[in-house]
Structure 1
């Protein structure tokens, strides 16, 4: 496979988080009973007319702003004609010739190297329903029909599955940080179609591409792309490329880890696009343009601000801005008074390191205020870092709790009483006069011995304060 170069382009469907659908007032809520959130318009019944949801346009502008794209003040809705059971009116309202968002770009970073991935376009469209196959029967749930989507089409700029996943994760992060989608992959709010082809290194031609449809997890997307690269490479090396690689749509079998043919791949002419006669052209007035240009802080902007404002390392800033939950958790800790560097350590190393299985920050019982309190108690000298780890273990086990109550009930409070510590130091030094003399003659390692002896006498003594007082006495 090293003889070939991979060409990857991705089409991502992002479900916009509006309260109602794109062309009607039906709710977009997930998990309802089948065929509850429907009306004549989203069912495409005769005489029902679509009315464009203004929020959909605003969110599309926000995305275009985030990727520094051309935003077309005038755009057109078209009918994309095809029939499947989950699309009862036999056409999808989409955009074709003039999309709302034109060319833009997204920067990815992989193994310390940065690369620009071009965005060809992003257009608004309605979603189809969902087919449910049970035994010998197939059913259709049309709750999802007419849900607003933003389809984001990349240039074929990715050359391996790692770049594809880095691009998808960056895109996923952007749409969540600017608040236009929850991008929940399990619920289908962020779905990907991958177009994959190969060519010999040095060849500038583009060969037959295969589209892998409806991928909704980063792990499966990567596996599907890698399998398809292997399949096409083996066909080429066996001189069967022209016979075995045809332009088609394939599905990924997650259990067997292979792609399977679904249907022949349609070209745009097969869809017989034409402007939708029931919808006016989309015109973005100055008020809507201004609203759409106002977006939340992007992940890269947040990362740079953290480095500059809090003096943290770039690697730490990259981790803490890797997803919206992490960034929000971190900022809440700071708002509660914890220091930036300690917050990063206790969030990204200690807390995340203890989360297992399906546990994430989203469903973790230890909120940012609780962890912030733990960090502050360390910084105040009320507990040691070792004791804090013990408390965190209890919090994980018991799924939450009060920090101060745990400090008291577990007997982990540090002693900061200088008088008690000094008395213990005096006792230890008087009992070990010979070792004091050795220390003063240059045997510095004996400091640890003295610290240990004092700690035996004053359990829970603040080690930092103990060291300070001990050094003063020895010098």
Structure 2
């Protein structure tokens, strides 16, 4: 039996740092990159007699995130102590939420090559972050408590994922949705968005879930994909060899691309949850809910529907553009300035999003200039190759696209007489390609097309060239 006979069953726990100025239970700064242990106080490090006070902004941000992913917001919830001992947790418990979370029963719709799929979101709860262990080879381990008490929301999905593609699509959509709301910067390189992956395997067609393992604190889409692919293969091979899968926490090693056992995985009972006696319940009034709902901007799914209906984009293209708020804003402005909004969308997807920095930022090409470039392309005055070239040049120095095309001589060659003459030259120079084509080797036609584009320095009209070559080769 092979891996094709098995399927993965994956659920994700996504930890998102909230963009508050101070921590969840004290007034210490949450700024990233400070010297170790300079942003701590007795509350952060659990000194006897210190008392936590809940940051109201944390609750508001968590509610906005819940509303953005279609959750039901609890009118009454509480905070609990999750008890375990680890060096980065100075109180020996973490304040989290257990049986009464703030947000429940949400979902996100994703688009993959297989089409649309709805991913269930079980819950979103608030909690405090732990500190950070810094391992120094040969010197031991240091602890930085600056991160203790940084506010988090944990977004727990249903075990609805069956492929790496679905996982990636969900995380991109979730990150985009959170960024739209403004409650987090979601910088994975700074740990603002981290993912725990719970994975099990079972034979296709079975309903019973297998034993799961958990891979913690993955902070890049690339590492998540590699970890999932490796762990799936490992579990399948173990089952095929008659071995038992153990419920455990595993570490993904970036250098080897493998996962390694860290410790046995605890169950909820092992944490001895109980309500935190120092914190009152959280009560959310209907008025507060309406106020926070009004602050949420137009989200990716709403924009996606508009792009499909108004501009004729495919579901997939609309989904990809709306994953970046900057790109979506830019596209809307460009689409209003062109007769060819679908071409503008293609330029945003293929060129603008490729050239944009990973963390977003300003796009140096004015949206009206991209719209004008789409018009030049749509009217047949430039071809796709010169269009891409023009975007790259505008990125370096923005200017009127039509003036750029004229100045650089980028206008497409569509004159049948000029192209016919060049085609005669190519056919006389490429006798072997012509013979190959006439013997049925259709790939030779693409070679002749390439030679024509070379003759025209990339400015030939591909459709006209194809038509003229086909006529001459008959």
- The alignment's C-alpha RMSD in Å is 3.2
Distance across 2 between alignment mates of 1:410 and 1:139: 62
Residue 305 of structure 2 corresponds to residue 308 of structure 1: no
Residues 104 and 393 of structure 1: CA distance in aligned 2, closer, same or farther (over 3 Å)? closer
In the TM superposition, residue 286 of structure 1 has moved relative to its aligned partner by 2.9
In the TM superposition, residue 137 of structure 1 has moved relative to its aligned partner by 2.6
- Select which of 95, 104, 116 maps to 1:114: 116
User: Is contact 2:334-2:344 (8 Å) kept?
Assistant: yes
For structure 2, list consecutive stretches of 5 or more residues without a partner in the other structure: 422-459, 462-474
Distance across 2 between alignment mates of 1:311 and 1:200: 40
In the TM superposition, residue 344 of structure 1 has moved relative to its aligned partner by 2.2
Residues 452 and 47 of structure 1: CA distance in aligned 2, closer, same or farther (over 3 Å)? farther
Residues 409 and 224 of structure 1: CA distance in aligned 2, closer, same or farther (over 3 Å)? closer
- Residue by residue, what CA displacement relative to the aligned partner does 1:191-231 show, whole Å, maximum 9, x if unpaired? 11111112233333233211111111112111111211111
In the TM superposition, residue 272 of structure 1 has moved relative to its aligned partner by 1.1
In the TM superposition, residue 315 of structure 1 has moved relative to its aligned partner by 4.2
In the TM superposition, residue 394 of structure 1 has moved relative to its aligned partner by 3.6
Q: 1:10 aligns to what SS in structure 2?
A: strand
Runs of 4 or more off by more than 6 Å in structure 1? 450-453
**TM-score computed with the length of structure 2 as normaliser:** 0.78
- Select which of 239, 243, 254 maps to 1:240: 243
Residues 406 and 37 of structure 1: CA distance in aligned 2, closer, same or farther (over 3 Å)? farther
Distance across 1 between alignment mates of 2:59 and 2:254: 35
Please say which structure displays the higher CA radius of gyration. 1
Give the match for residue 220 of structure 1.
Answer: 223
Residue 234 of structure 2 corresponds to residue 231 of structure 1: yes
Residue 150 of structure 2 corresponds to residue 153 of structure 1: no
Residue 144 of structure 2 corresponds to residue 141 of structure 1: yes
Residues 374 and 176 of structure 1: CA distance in aligned 2, closer, same or farther (over 3 Å)? closer
Distance across 1 between alignment mates of 2:400 and 2:206: 67
- Residue by residue, what CA displacement relative to the aligned partner does 1:313-354 show, whole Å, maximum 9, x if unpaired? 44432332132232133235457x45634532432234445x
| Correspondence list, 1:73-112, <5 A | 73-112=75-114
Worse-matched range after superposition: 385-394 or 53-62 = 385-394
Distance across 2 between alignment mates of 1:317 and 1:101: 28
Give the match for residue 283 of structure 1.
Answer: 283
Distance across 2 between alignment mates of 1:374 and 1:299: 22
Give the match for residue 428 of structure 2.
Answer: none
Give the match for residue 401 of structure 1.
Answer: 397
- Residue by residue, what CA displacement relative to the aligned partner does 1:65-86 show, whole Å, maximum 9, x if unpaired? 2222221110010011112221
User: Is contact 1:325-1:362 (8 Å) kept?
Assistant: no
- Residue by residue, what CA displacement relative to the aligned partner does 1:287-337 show, whole Å, maximum 9, x if unpaired? 3212222322121111111233334444432332132232133235457x4
Distance across 2 between alignment mates of 1:169 and 1:403: 33
Residues 192 and 450 of structure 1: CA distance in aligned 2, closer, same or farther (over 3 Å)? closer
Q: How many pairs align?
A: 413
User: Is contact 1:332-1:368 (8 Å) kept?
Assistant: no
Residue 368 of structure 2 corresponds to residue 372 of structure 1: yes
In the TM superposition, residue 233 of structure 1 has moved relative to its aligned partner by 1.1
Distance across 1 between alignment mates of 2:63 and 2:406: 54
Give the match for residue 10 of structure 1.
Answer: 12
Distance across 2 between alignment mates of 1:306 and 1:409: 29
Distance across 1 between alignment mates of 2:398 and 2:110: 41
- Select which of 51, 56, 62 maps to 2:58: 56
User: Is contact 1:407-1:413 (8 Å) kept?
Assistant: no
- Residue by residue, what CA displacement relative to the aligned partner does 1:258-281 show, whole Å, maximum 9, x if unpaired? 100111111111111111111000
Give the match for residue 449 of structure 1.
Answer: 417
Residue 407 of structure 2 corresponds to residue 411 of structure 1: yes
Give the match for residue 326 of structure 1.
Answer: 327
Distance across 2 between alignment mates of 1:286 and 1:406: 55
Residue 185 of structure 2 corresponds to residue 182 of structure 1: yes
For structure 1, list consecutive stretches of 5 or more residues without a partner in the other structure: 416-445, 454-462, 465-475
Residue 214 of structure 2 corresponds to residue 211 of structure 1: yes
Q: 2:130 aligns to what SS in structure 1?
A: coil
Residues 79 and 2 of structure 1: CA distance in aligned 2, closer, same or farther (over 3 Å)? same
Residue 293 of structure 2 corresponds to residue 293 of structure 1: yes
**TM-score computed with the length of structure 1 as normaliser:** 0.78
- Residue by residue, what CA displacement relative to the aligned partner does 1:44-63 show, whole Å, maximum 9, x if unpaired? 22222211111211122122
| Correspondence list, 1:424-439, <5 A | none
Distance across 1 between alignment mates of 2:204 and 2:420: 65
